[in-house]
């Protein structure tokens, strides 16, 4: 049986990973996976259960015990994987400022990242994927031939966050993501780096799609 294709899109915060991954997935008819949403879901759940986010063992223990399930849903022509908790996907709750502040602490816990890797690799059950995050090409699917890394100038990324009504210290987030001991944010071996500081989403996704189609044609 032919192995599903995984398009790995990594990058810094507010580099356009989500927007472009969705555009690419929709254009190719692939399933979209937002791995950041999975970490956000755990962060939200930790807040619900009043777990001390600075206690790595407590966060890891909750991650071991929570009842989750992967589900593939279709909305507006886009198929996407959701991580359900007790049968529920907290779509709005994981985007609050409180959850945003908590997610970096949860994401640096080693046992959490081990759990997430297993679950994220399980997404392959839904077929060809466009998966976005911070360690897809380096850790989750290092074997894929389709690796991309999106970036933009800090000022541009901060402006994008502000336009979305989100206040976040991106310089500090970058530092945390790049310096954590487990699966730090870095450019994967063989990844195509795209700096989209002065590009629209359509231009960025167009570049990605053209490169993917070129590589797919070469594989035939």
d(C-alpha 47, C-alpha 14), whole Å = 24
Written as six digits, the tokens of 134 are 């911070």
Is 214 inside any structural domain?
no
**Domain count of the fold of the chain:** 1
pLDDT of residue 191: 94
Domain annotation covers residue 152: yes
Question: Per the domain annotation, does 53 fall within a domain?
Answer: yes
pLDDT value at residue 220: 75
Q: What is the mean pLDDT of each run of 10 residues along the chain (220 residues)?
A: 90 90 97 97 98 97 97 96 98 92 92 97 98 96 96 89 78 78 84 93 96 91
Question: Is 219 among the domain residues?
Answer: no
Residue 123 lies in a domain: yes
pLDDT at 67: 97
Structural domain range at position 67: 6-208
- Is residue 181 assigned to a domain? yes
- pTM, entire model: 0.92
Judge whether 216 lies within some domain: no
Is residue 170 included in any domain, yes or no?
A: yes
Q: Is the dihedral of CA 134, 156, 19, 168 positive or negative?
A: positive
- Which of 54, 71, 75, 51 shows the shortest CA–CA distance to 63? 51
Give residue 195's pLDDT.
Answer: 93
User: What burial class does residue 96 get, using C-beta atoms within 10 Å of its C-beta: 0-12 exposed, 13-18 middle, 19+ buried?
Assistant: middle
Identify the CATH number of the domain in which residue 180 sits.
3.40.50.300
């Amino acid at each position: 049986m032919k192995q599903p294709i995984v398009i790995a899109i990594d990058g810094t915060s507010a580099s356009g990973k989500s927007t472009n991954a969705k555009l690419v997935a929709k254009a190719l008819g692939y399933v979209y996976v937002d791995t950041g949403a999975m970490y956000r879901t755990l962060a939200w759940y930790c807040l619900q259960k009043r777990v001390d986010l600075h206690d790595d063992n407590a966060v890891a223990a909750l991650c071991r015990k929570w009842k989750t399930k992967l589900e593939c849903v279709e909305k507006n022509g886009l198929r996407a994987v959701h991580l359900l908790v007790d049968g529920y996907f907290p779509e709005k709750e994981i985007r609050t400022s409180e959850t945003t502040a908590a997610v970096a602490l949860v994401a640096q816990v080693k046992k959490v990242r081990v759990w997430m890797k297993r679950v994220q690799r399980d997404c392959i059950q839904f077929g060809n994927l466009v998966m976005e995050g911070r360690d897809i090409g380096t850790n989750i699917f290092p074997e894929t031939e389709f690796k991309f890394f999106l970036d933009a100038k800090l000022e541009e990324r901060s402006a994008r966050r502000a336009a979305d009504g989100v206040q976040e210290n991106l310089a500090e987030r970058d530092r945390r993501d790049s310096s954590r001991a487990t699966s730090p944010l870095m450019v994967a071996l063989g990844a195509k780096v795209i700096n989209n500081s002065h590009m629209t989403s359509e231009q960025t996704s167009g570049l990605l799609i053209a490169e993917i189609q070129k590589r797919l044609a070469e594989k035939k």
